[in-house]
């Protein structure tokens, strides 16, 4: 009996030892390097392999609170090169008891190779490997999934999602968070072996015997318990063993360590930004890690996602905590540093944006091959160029040649590129030393016989290539897509990446560069914001015309809400209207130029049809005036200065209702309404745009007669140049507009109708247009609506850059 008790005690101790050895991490199995020449200690861990064809499923049950994903990419050895960052994606779905999908998302990850190591007994070896040594794993990335947000989830399934880089498989280790009672945690500690305690206290400065009870509770209360997939290995999921060299046991040269410092890099020449999505608005924490001693001043600039609001903070020290709304946060330090940003509510940390680019050198060009799809569907080729700072001593010449399949040259273009530094782009391999120019681009309408393009340059140059079908409509959701960085995962890509046909050779030659890029703050155009421009308004024709009289469409006057942060310039006061109280109001009349007399306009809306009113101006009565439901009339010539105006009913002297506005008032910041002439959209409008306006931005305003959602389609009809252009014009754009987000506006045409808007569209006409004119056609998914199309010409000699949805801001 006593022997049986001893056997049971030994068995219990063995089970406890194995359980806690597994919970302590990858130290369960330690082997010597039998697959390599390394005489070093190895850790091993079980890893489940994901591919893009099948799902790997995990049963979660109902008590799981949080999941921890430890993932890495698995590539062929020749593709996993030091310092080369690459991207891979994991798709996961959460299902409820009925098998219905409650969440379906893709997590985007970026990694690079683990360090290569060497001891006195071996050659240079990779520090991580699988039993199937033809594949190599990258460094691990960790991310977390809060299941409290999905209370009905009972099953998790994961697979490798399509990614830009050639990832063979993805290795995944999954763990669930278990919370242990503090009393049980202390009892567990007493039963642990000394080696296990030493491992748990590896980051503790005191020996195990001096650890207090609260510290023991903190160590063991949160346990990440590994879990495996459901089903049978080899049938329902793939499994392998990962071996990892214990790098801390080696005498490594720290200068050669390829592991990056925490967070993203920024310095006075390289700025960074963080996107604050709507689901992540709230408390944020930023940690700064300066590279040198001394004061580090960090300028934080936040721009709202929905309007022009901008806030600025100057931070002294190495931490900032504050509440941020949906928008973009720009980070500009006074010295080189890395930083980490975290949304405190969910511990979310934003990912960095990577972009592949290819190096062109003298005598070593790039060749991009393509083929026409769908029986010759027209394609557009876009080539992006970035000049390196080392070559910024003078202009760099780039040469582009387009060929047929048999080598006949179709077109050629040579152009010099200037160096204008881009503060938001870095080389991932050396962000501190890299200085790259802003992107320049070429666009080529590919003829049916085009087969490939060759790019050459007089000095080293970074090149990226993209294409898109010429007739593919581009869909945008407004207002959320107005900021190119807002809700980016939901945006339809405008361009699709092309890869050179000799990418493997370029990789071996070190001519593939990974760029880290950040979204820039959209600077508000000062000329536009201060009304410091002239409008050139275009007049349309109906798309569907029944007779010659339809050639003429008359504009309708309209007032819309247009708050200004600055007082309008003197020349713009005639188009700015201030609210006026009809019961009596004092206003100060100002002149637009140097005149001493003005004729201000009084606008109104919300009246009864044919209502008669009396005007009482500076103590004198005028009238009666018979009003329609809405309109505008002149008060006649008046001297500049202060005046008093009130209105009353013609016969009974009763109070006049409705809304009233007056223009030409001096330095009045309350003049938040602007005048616009708009055209009824009807069944569609066509604008003829002359060649003088090519390569310009058009300002389009749309006003809806509905509070519901509406779609506006913009088509450009006309010829395009056959060669190479510097800017691109979209043929077909579809804007999905949320009517509920639009402010009320007031038609002054006598009808009294209320409309909603404007939704502002900035549309670029590129130099790729040919001929004398092109047609701009606008149609709506719902009847009604009004349109104004204009070109804004700055009053100053220097042309302004109107904010637009240009290609440079879309890195897809």
CA distance 566 to 667: 10
pLDDT score, position 54: 92
The arithmetic mean of pLDDT across residues 607-623, rounded, is 86
Contacts of 206 (CB under 8 A, 6+ apart): none
pLDDT score, position 55: 94
Predicted confidence band of residue 162 (pLDDT cuts 50, 70, 90) = confident
pLDDT score, position 463: 95
Q: Is the pLDDT of residue 265 over 90?
A: no
Q: Which residue has the higher pLDDT, 385 or 255?
A: 385
Structure tokens at 272: 């960074």
The arithmetic mean of pLDDT across residues 372-392, rounded, is 76
pLDDT score, position 661: 93
What percent of the chain shows pLDDT beyond 70? 78
Predicted confidence band of residue 1 (pLDDT cuts 50, 70, 90) = very low
CA distance 576 to 675: 7
pLDDT in tens, 616-653: 999 899 888 888 999 999 998 888 888 999 999 888 88
Contact predicate 45/173, CB 8 Å: yes
With CA atoms as reference, report the closest residue to 86 among 555, 514, 457, 420. Answer: 514
Predicted confidence band of residue 24 (pLDDT cuts 50, 70, 90) = very low
With CA atoms as reference, report the closest residue to 113 among 96, 95, 136. Answer: 136
Tell me what percent of the chain is helix, strand and coil, each rounded to the nearest 5: 15, 45, 40
Predicted confidence band of residue 276 (pLDDT cuts 50, 70, 90) = very high
Predicted confidence band of residue 798 (pLDDT cuts 50, 70, 90) = very low
The arithmetic mean of pLDDT across residues 226-242, rounded, is 89
CA distance 775 to 778: 10
DSSP-derived pairing of the beta strands 541-542 and 685-690: antiparallel
Contacts of 562 (CB under 8 A, 6+ apart): 672, 673, 674
pLDDT in tens, 77-98: 777 776 666 778 899 999 998 8
Predicted confidence band of residue 330 (pLDDT cuts 50, 70, 90) = very high
pLDDT score, position 604: 93
pLDDT in tens, 701-746: 999 998 889 999 999 999 998 888 999 999 999 999 988 889 999 9
**pTM: predicted TM-score of the whole model, two decimal places:** 0.66
Structure tokens at 531: 């009304």
Rounded to 10°, the helix 182-191/2-23 angle is 110
Q: Is the pLDDT of residue 555 over 50?
A: yes
pLDDT in tens, 202-216: 655 455 555 666 666
Q: Which residue has the higher pLDDT, 615 or 37?
A: 615
pLDDT in tens, 646-695: 999 888 888 888 899 998 887 666 788 999 999 999 889 999 999 888 87
The arithmetic mean of pLDDT across residues 406-425, rounded, is 91
What's the chain's average pLDDT?
A: 79
CA distance 223 to 123: 39
pLDDT score, position 18: 40
Contact predicate 33/121, CB 8 Å: no
Q: Is the pLDDT of residue 114 over 60?
A: yes
With CA atoms as reference, report the closest residue to 513 among 461, 577, 570, 553. Answer: 461
Contact predicate 606/661, CB 8 Å: no
DSSP, collapsed to helix, strand or coil, labels residue 630 as: strand
Among 254-263, 290-299, 673-682, 779-788, which is the least confidently predicted range?
Answer: 254-263
CA distance 633 to 636: 9
pLDDT score, position 261: 39
pLDDT score, position 209: 54
pLDDT score, position 142: 82
Is the omega angle on the peptide bond into residue 758 within 30 degrees of 0, that is, cis?
Answer: yes
């Amino acid at each position: 009996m006593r022997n049986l008790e001893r056997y049971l005690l030994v068995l219990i101790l063995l089970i406890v030892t194995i359980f806690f050895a597994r919970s302590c991490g990858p130290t369960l199995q330690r082997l010597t390097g039998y697959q390599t020449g390394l005489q070093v200690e190895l850790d091993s861990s079980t890893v489940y392999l994901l591919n893009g064809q099948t799902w790997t499923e995990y049963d979660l049950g109902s008590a799981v609170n949080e999941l921890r994903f430890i993932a890495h990419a698995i590539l062929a050895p020749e593709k996993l090169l030091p310092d080369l960052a690459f991207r891979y994606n994991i798709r996961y779905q959460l299902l409820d008891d009925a098998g219905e999908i409650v969440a379906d998302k893709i997590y985007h990850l970026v990694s690079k190779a683990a360090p290569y190591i060497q001891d006195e007994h071996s050659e240079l070896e990779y520090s991580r490997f699988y039993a199937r040594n033809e594949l190599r794993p990258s460094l691990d990335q960790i991310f977390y999934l809060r299941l409290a947000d999905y209370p009905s989830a009972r099953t998790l399934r994961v697979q490798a999602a399509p990614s830009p880089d050639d990832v063979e498989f993805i290795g995944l280790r999954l763990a669930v968070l278990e919370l242990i009672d503090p009393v049980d945690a202390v009892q567990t500690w007493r039963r642990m072996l000394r080696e296990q305690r030493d491992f748990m206290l590896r980051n503790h400065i005191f020996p195990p015997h001096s650890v207090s009870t609260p510290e023991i509770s903190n160590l063991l209360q949160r346990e990440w318990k590994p879990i495996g997939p459901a089903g049978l290995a080899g049938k329902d999921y793939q499994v392998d063993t990962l071996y990892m060299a214990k790098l801390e046991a080696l005498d490594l040269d720290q200068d050669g360590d390829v592991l990056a410092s925490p967070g993203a890099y920024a310095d006075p020449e390289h700025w960074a930004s963080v996107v604050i999505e709507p689901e992540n608005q709230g408390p944020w924490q930023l940690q700064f890690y300066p590279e040198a001693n001394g004061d580090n001043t960090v300028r934080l600039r936040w721009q709202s996602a929905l309007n022009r609001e901008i806030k600025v903070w100057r931070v002294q020290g190495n931490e900032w905590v504050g509440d941020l709304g949906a928008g973009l946060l720009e980070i500009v330090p006074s010295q080189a540093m890395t930083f980490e940003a975290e949304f405190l509510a969910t511990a979310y940390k934003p990912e960095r944006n990577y972009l592949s680019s290819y190096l062109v050198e003298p005598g070593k060009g790039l060749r991009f091959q393509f083929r026409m799809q769908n029986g010759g569907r027209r394609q557009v080729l876009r080539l992006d160029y970035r000049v390196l700072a080392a070559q910024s001593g003078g202009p760099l010449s780039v040469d582009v040649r387009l060929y047929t399949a048999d080598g006949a040259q179709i077109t050629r273009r040579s152009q010099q590129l200037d160096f204008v530094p881009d503060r938001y782009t870095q080389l991932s391999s050396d962000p501190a030393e890299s200085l790259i120019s802003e992107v320049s681009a070429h666009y080529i309408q590919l003829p049916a016989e085009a087969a490939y393009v060759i790019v050459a340059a007089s000095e080293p140059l970074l090149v990226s290539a993209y294409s898109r079908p010429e007739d593919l409509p581009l869909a945008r959701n407004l207002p959320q897509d107005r900021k190119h960085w807002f809700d980016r995962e939901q945006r339809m890509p405008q361009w699709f990446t092309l890869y050179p046909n000799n990418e493997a050779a370029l990789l071996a030659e070190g001519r593939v560069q990974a760029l880290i890029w950040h979204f820039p703050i959209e600077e508000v155009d000062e000329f536009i914001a201060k009304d410091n421009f002239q409008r050139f308004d275009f007049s349309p024709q109906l798309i569907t015309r029944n007779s010659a009289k339809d050639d003429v469409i008359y504009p309708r006057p309209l007032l819309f809400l247009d708050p200004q942060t600055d007082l309008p310039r003197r020349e713009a006061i005639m188009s700015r209207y201030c609210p006026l109280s009809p019961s009596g109001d004092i206003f100060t009349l100002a002149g637009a130029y140097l005149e001493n007399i003005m004729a201000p306009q009084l606008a109104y809306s919300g009246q009864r049809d044919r209502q008669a009113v009396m005007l009482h101006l500076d103590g004198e009565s005028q009238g009666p005036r018979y009003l329609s439901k809405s309109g505008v009339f002149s008060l006649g010539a008046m001297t500049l200065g202060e005046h008093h105006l009130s209105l009353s009913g013609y016969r009974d002297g009763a109070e006049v209702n409705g809304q009233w506005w007056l223009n030409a008032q001096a330095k009045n910041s309350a003049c938040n309404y602007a005048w616009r002439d708009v055209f009824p959209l009807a069944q569609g409008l066509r604008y003829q745009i002359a060649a003088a306006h090519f390569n310009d931005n058009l300002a389009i305003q749309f006003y809806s007669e509905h509070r519901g959602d509406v779609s506006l389609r913009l088509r450009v009809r006309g010829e395009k140049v056959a060669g190479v252009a510097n800017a691109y014009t979209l043929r077909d754009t579809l804007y999905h507009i949320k009517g509920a987000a639009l402010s009320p506006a007031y038609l002054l045409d006598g009808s009294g109708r209320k409309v909603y808007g404007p939704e502002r569209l900035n549309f670029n006409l590129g130099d790729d247009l040919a001929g004398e004119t092109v047609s701009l056609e606008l149609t709506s998914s719902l009847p009604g609506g009004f349109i104004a199309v204009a070109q804004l010409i700055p009053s100053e000699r220097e042309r302004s850059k109107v904010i637009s949805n240009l290609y440079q801001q879309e890195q897809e």
